[in-house]
Structure 1
Amino acid sequence: MSAPLDIEGPAAPPRSNGELVFAEPWESRAFGMAVTLYDAGVFTWPEFQAALIARITTWEAAGEGEPYSYYGLWLAALEDVLTSVRAVSTDEVITRARSLAQRPPGHDH
């Protein structure tokens, strides 16, 4: 099984010459986690797409707030869908995010 990635539309990942584009290593890892969890049957792709589109829509509605980060929204959507299907709790996501945020720069793996 492989994730049916949109070629166009609000949930379409960034591409260059048809290839996926990742600016930072964490982006490709977030992408891979979502696809792997989908392949494992943890959630359906429509569930993930809906969560991603909701995150993008919320970002757009906020206006001049945070700079746009497709994979930042992707990761937030992944957290949303994992909590909605009860694969993890919201508290687990918050605790892990805080732990990762406290690591010194250069320790992104």
Structure 2
Amino acid sequence: MNRPDTDLATALAADTPIPRDADGPVFAEPWQAQAFALVVALQNKGVFTAEEWAQALGAEIAEAVAEGGCRDGSDYYERWCEALEHLLIEKGLASHDGVDALAASWARAAEATPHGKPIVLENDPERGR
């Protein structure tokens, strides 16, 4: 599905300060690297094309900028995750309800996990009910 702001969105994505150094992307947190790798793997498996990805990411960045979002790149990977979520929903591989339920499960798991321990879904007290 093409969005009317595809060209603008793609241009904004190209102009966004992606966190990087001379060797390529840099990640402030492990989840950022995992999200990056997930998109690369899905694209390599043919789940979506590079053009579809650029359009989805560009649209998310355009929306964030239109809403006064950060232009310094500090929220780049949040936009990355939003684009992935919306693209997977658009392709019928995920649902809004499913994504929301999983996010809630992770939040409960985080709350139930002792400080300093890894957060895993198994820590969600409502999991398996």
TM-score normalised by length of structure 1 = 0.79
Structure 2 counterpart of 1:80: 86
Q: Secondary structure at the match of 1:81?
A: helix
Structure 2 counterpart of 1:32: 37
Alignment partners' CA distance in 2, 1:29 and 1:72: 12
Q: Which AA in structure 2 matches 1:107?
A: P
Gaps of 5+ in 2: 1-12, 121-129
Given the superposition, is the C-alpha separation of residues 103 and 10 from structure 1 closer, same or farther in structure 2, using an over 3 Å criterion?
Answer: farther
TM-score normalised by length of structure 2 = 0.68
Q: Which AA in structure 1 matches 2:118?
A: H
Counting matched residue pairs gives 101
Deviation at 1:91, TM superposition (A): 1.3
5 Å-filtered alignment, 1:85-104, equals 85-104=91-110
Alignment partners' CA distance in 2, 1:44 and 1:64: 27
Alignment partners' CA distance in 2, 1:71 and 1:82: 16
Structure 2 counterpart of 1:43: 48
Gaps of 5+ in 1: 1-7
**In angstroms, what is the RMSD of aligned CA positions?**
2.4
Given the superposition, is the C-alpha separation of residues 10 and 83 from structure 1 closer, same or farther in structure 2, using an over 3 Å criterion?
Answer: farther
Deviation at 1:11, TM superposition (A): 5.8
Q: Higher relative CO (CA 8 A, sep ≥ 6), structure 1 or 2?
A: 1
